[in-house]
A and B are shown apart, each in its own frame.
Chain A
Amino acid sequence: MNMHKYEKIWIYIGSATLLFFLMVVGVSAFYMGNKPPSCAVTLDPENVRNHELFKEPGLKQIGDNEYQLTIVASAFDYDVGSDDKVVQIPKGATVHISSTTTDVIHGFEIAGTNVNMMLEPGYISTLTNTFKNEGTYTLVCNEYCGIGHHLMHATIEVVE
């Protein structure tokens, strides 16, 4: 197959860009630890509330400036452990988030942060995040879950 000289140069440039790009993504994932959230930890979706982790949702301090935030999602609500649906997180704290769903698939996205993951029946989704900036953030559902999908929310206040 005869290829035009310019076409060859173009393909080399394209391949080199591709290689560089994949290296950046790969180094970031496996050397710097920026892997997508995933842990393959399972539970019985019918029995979430009896699971050790999800008996009492909410924020718990587990170490020096380290917290565990547990949230149970269901149509169309995030149970964050308080009636006003507000969680206060100290600025700069390391927060390990665990969440799951008791019914259909939900999203778990804290708008304006990198916290964004899927909640699927039978799986525990986990992610660790440090909230560096003070402010009021909204946790929203970003996967369609039914007629009240757009009404699912909670508030995360990052405070001094």
Chain B
Amino acid sequence: MPEPSPPPAPGPQANLKDPFVAGVLAWLVPGLGHAYQGRYPKAVLLCFTILGTFLYGLYLGSDKEVGWGRVVYFSFRKNDVRLYYLCQVGIGLPALPALVQADVVQRGRRPFWHALMAPAKLHANDPPPPDPKYPDDPAQRTCAEVVHSLARLFELGSLYTAIAGLLNILAIYDACCGPVLPEPAKKKDGQDETEQAEPKGQAIPVEKPA
């Protein structure tokens, strides 16, 4: 009977802890779920990359005249269905002010923070009414004015922020399930080489640093 080959030496392990908590944290702030799991280099990388993309998109969609971050807003009004927001909300907390601003505007009140992520008016006579104290209030701008003022930057900003949200969904998956490991090489008898080496539970093997 042939001697069984010893299992490969275990590499460094990534402890996923509670995948649900990690996933929620990763959704709230990009990289936070990885930081919770102690995967700090990856947390920093994801935070800078995803948050940087989102903030750059917000910057592109900002203007002193029309307000800040006008490319991220929540609106499912007639003639203004903002499907982009479904992607943008993937980034979690940074996109949530849009929900607050949408509620504020729906109640007929003036949005705060220079109309940050506030939905623009559909018509000039929609609420909130103009306030004489704020003659250049960006909250008074209509959708057409915002799009016209930002021109191509409106689409670019929307695209950047939406892609950032979608990229964070990848990061959430990584926080919940760990990295997608390469396909294991098949043995002649059809058995995976890594079958015996794969640890059970929430720890996943990772490659050794080069």
The answer on A and B forming one complex is no
